[in-house]
Amino acid sequence: MSPSATTTAVFVPSDGLNVLVIGGGLCGLGTAISTSLAGHSVTVFEAAPELHEIGAGLQITPNANRLLKRWGLWESLAPVAAAPQQLSIRRFDGRLLAQRLDYDEETKRKYGVPTWCLHRVDLQQALLRRATELGVEIRFGQRVHDIDFERNQITLQSGETAVGDVVIAADGLWSAVRNKFLGIETPPKPTGDLAYRVTINVDEVDDPELLEVIQKPGNNIWIGPSRHAVGYNVRNGKLFNMVLLVPDDLPEGVRKQPGNIAEMRKLFEDWDPILTKLLARVEKVEKWKLMHHPPLERLATDTGRFLIAYVCL
C-alpha cells in the first residue's frame, strides 16, 4: 500500500514504543542500539541467515566515534581499532604533497575523540553483541516481502506479519522497502568507479621500506590521473587495508567479482615504488562496483511512523 498522507502525532507510552527495524547491517544494528537505549522495544528483521564478512576496512571519524562511545561500544572496540598517527598524501609518483605527523593528537584535541580505522567485521560483531545485551530481538533469515504503510505492518516472506508503532527501513543499497515507499523501482546508479579491495598482513612483511609505511598506523593516500589509492591499518595495526579506485569496467549488472591481480598491478605500474611493492605482495583481490542513490525528497511517511534510515542508502 502507498505511504499515508495523514499527518498525526505519535503517542509515546511510558514503557516505550514497539520498533521494527528492517535490516541487520551496520545501520540497522546501530539504529536498534540507539532506539533501545532510548527506552523502546526493538526487533530487527534480517534477510541473511547469518552475518557475513563484507568489505574490510572502515574509517570511523570523530562524529561517528562519539556515537560508538555513547552506545557503550568503546571498551569492546578499542582493542581492535587502529588510530592513525599520521596522514600522508602523495602524488602517484611518490612525491609528498601534504603530511600531518600529529594527526591523532590533533584530532583528539579538536574533537575530543580519535579517528579509528576498524575492520568491518569487528564493528558489526560488536554492534550485534551490544544490541543483544540491550535485549534487542534479532531475527535472521527473515526477509520482508511487503509493508502496509497505513497499518505499519510488515509481511515476511514466510507469510508471518508483524505490526510496530514505528517501522525503520535499514535494508541497504538494494533496499526493496525503499522501492515500496517510493512506489517505483529505483536501482542504485553506478558512480563510474570501481574499487579493488586488498589486505596485507603486517607480520608477513620484512621489507624495511614497506614497514616504514605500514607498521605504524596511519592514513596513506596516493593521487593520480583518473585513479587513487588509500591504505590504512585495522585490527590494532596488524592488518593493512588498501582500496584502489579506478574507472569502472565491470559489465552492467555485475556488482562484484574476483579481480585479476596482474590487471590491477598494470593499472598502477608507474606509480610510487612503495605502492607497487605493496601490490606485489597481494595474493587475492576483489573488484567492487561503486554505486549510489540520489538524495530522497522525504525520508518518512506523513504520520512519522515509517522512516528510512538514509545513511544506509
Whether the per-residue pLDDT at 12 is higher than 90: the answer is: no
Alpha-carbon gap, residue 285 to 197, rounded angstroms: 6
Task: Return the CA Rg of the chain.
Answer: 22
Per-domain residue ranges for the chain?
18-79+116-186+294-312, 189-292
Backbone φ/ψ region at 304: left (φ over 0), alpha (ψ -120 to 50), beta: left
CB-CB contact of 242 with 276 (8 Å): no
Positive/negative CA dihedral, 20, 25, 31, 35 = positive
Percent of the chain whose pLDDT exceeds 90: 85
Whole-prediction pTM value? 0.91
Whether the per-residue pLDDT at 2 is higher than 70: the answer is: no
Report residue 253's pLDDT band, with 50, 70 and 90 as the boundaries: confident
Positive/negative CA dihedral, 132, 137, 140, 146 = negative
Least confident of 27-31, 287-291, 307-311: 307-311
- Report the SS3 class of residue 280: helix
Summarised one tens digit per residue, pLDDT across range 261-279 is 999 999 999 999 999 999 9
pLDDT in the model for residue 216: 87
CA nearest to 163, candidates 13, 2, 20: 20
Tally: H helices and E strands in the chain: 9, 18
Q: Where are the alpha helices (DSSP H) in 204-272?
A: 208-214, 261-267
Q: What is the mean pLDDT of residues 207-223?
A: 94
pLDDT in the model for residue 13: 60
Alpha-carbon gap, residue 276 to 270, rounded angstroms: 8
Q: What is the mean pLDDT of residues 97-108?
A: 96
CB-CB contact of 242 with 198 (8 Å): yes
CB-CB contact of 246 with 227 (8 Å): yes
CATH superfamily of 18-79+116-186+294-312: FAD/NAD(P)-binding domain (3.50.50.60)
Whether the per-residue pLDDT at 8 is higher than 50: the answer is: no
Q: What is the mean pLDDT of residues 248-257?
A: 92
pLDDT in the model for residue 15: 76
Backbone φ/ψ region at 213: left (φ over 0), alpha (ψ -120 to 50), beta: alpha
Class of domain 189-292: alpha beta
Report residue 310's pLDDT band, with 50, 70 and 90 as the boundaries: low
Alpha-carbon gap, residue 279 to 119, rounded angstroms: 20
Here the cell at position 90 is 602523495
Alpha-carbon gap, residue 313 to 188, rounded angstroms: 9
- Report the SS3 class of residue 109: helix
pLDDT in the model for residue 14: 63
Q: What is the mean pLDDT of residues 220-227?
A: 97
Q: What is the mean pLDDT of residues 273-286?
A: 95
pLDDT in the model for residue 134: 98
Here the cell at position 296 is 530522497
Summarised one tens digit per residue, pLDDT across range 122-132 is 999 999 999 99
Mean pLDDT, rounded, of the chain: 92
Whether the per-residue pLDDT at 239 is higher than 60: the answer is: yes
Q: What is the mean pLDDT of residues 185-200?
A: 94
Which letter does DSSP use for residue 124 in this model?
H
Which letter does DSSP use for residue 50 in this model?
S
Q: What is the mean pLDDT of residues 305-313?
A: 75
Query: Which amino acid appears at position 284 of this protein?
Result: K
Q: What is the mean pLDDT of residues 184-209?
A: 94
Summarised one tens digit per residue, pLDDT across range 14-57 is 678 999 999 999 999 999 999 999 999 999 999 999 887 676 89
